């Protein structure tokens, strides 16, 4: 792909990136940061490709190092973001009908709603 085509993609992505997060509640700042952090762990793809193309022992060692680091970023990033977001689960307005998980919380809220 030509350099100019890549530049096109870059510029358009900048605008998309600005647009998607233009309005975020302060409560979600930390999870959003963490989620974005996980996304750039996709450098793992780059680490895999270069490690697959080098042959000297030193270069392979560096490639292994990069692959491990990138995996930690990618996998750990998504898992930790999910843990942060767990606190948003189940506390908000369960449906007035029977809730799937009969937690104490859901039962209490359900009774009030009925």
Partner 1 sequence: MKVLSGTAVDLLYLVAAVCFILALKGLSGPRTARRGNLIGAGGAALGVVTTFFSTDLDNMGWILSSIVVGSAVAVPTARRVQMTQMPQLVALFNGVGGGAAAVVALLELSLLSGVSSFSGEQRGNLAAIAFTVLVGSVSFAGSGVTFAKLQELMTTRPVVLPGARPLLIGGLAAALAASVGVFVTGRLWVGIVLMLIGLALGIMLVLPVGGADVPIVISLLNAFTGLTVAAGGFVLRNTLLLVAGTLVGASGTILTRLMAAAMGRSVTGVLFGALRGGSTAGSTAVSNRPVRSAGPDDVAILLNYAHKVVVVPGYGLAVAQAQHAIRELEEVLESRGVEVEYGIHPVAGRMPGHMNVLLAEANVPYETLKEMDEINPEFKTTDVVLVVGANDVVNPAAKTTPGAPIYGMPILEVSDAQQVVFLKRSMRPGFAGIENELLYDPKTTLLFGDAKDSLTKVLTALKAL
C-beta of 16: minimal distance to partner 1 in Å? 6
Number of residues that bind partner 1 (CB under 8 A): 87
C-beta of 78: minimal distance to partner 1 in Å? 4
d(CA 30, CA 32): 5
Mark residues 23-62: x for contact with partner 1 by CB under 8 A, - for none: xxxxxxxxxxxxxxxxxxxxxxxxxxxxxxxxx---xx-x
- Residue 89 is a binding residue for partner 1 (CB under 8 A): yes
DSSP symbols for 98-112: --SS--HHHHHHHHH
- Residue 86 is a binding residue for partner 1 (CB under 8 A): yes
Q: Which tokens sit at 99?
A: 């809730």
d(CA 20, CA 52): 35
C-beta of 102: minimal distance to partner 1 in Å? 14
d(CA 3, CA 66): 26
- Residue 20 is a binding residue for partner 1 (CB under 8 A): yes
């Amino acid at each position: 792909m030509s350099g100019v085509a890549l530049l096109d993609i870059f510029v358009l992505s900048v605008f998309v990136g600005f647009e998607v997060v233009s309005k975020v509640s302060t409560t979600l700042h930390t999870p959003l940061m963490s989620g974005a952090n996980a996304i750039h762990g996709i450098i793992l793809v780059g680490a895999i490709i270069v490690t697959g193309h080098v042959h000297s022992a030193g270069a392979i060692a560096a490639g292994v190092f990069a692959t491990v680091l990138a995996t930690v970023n990618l996998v750990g990033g998504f898992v930790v973001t999910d843990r942060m977001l767990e606190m948003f689960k189940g506390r908000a307005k369960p449906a007035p009908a029977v809730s799937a998980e009969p937690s104490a919380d859901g039962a209490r809220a359900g009774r009030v709603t009925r």
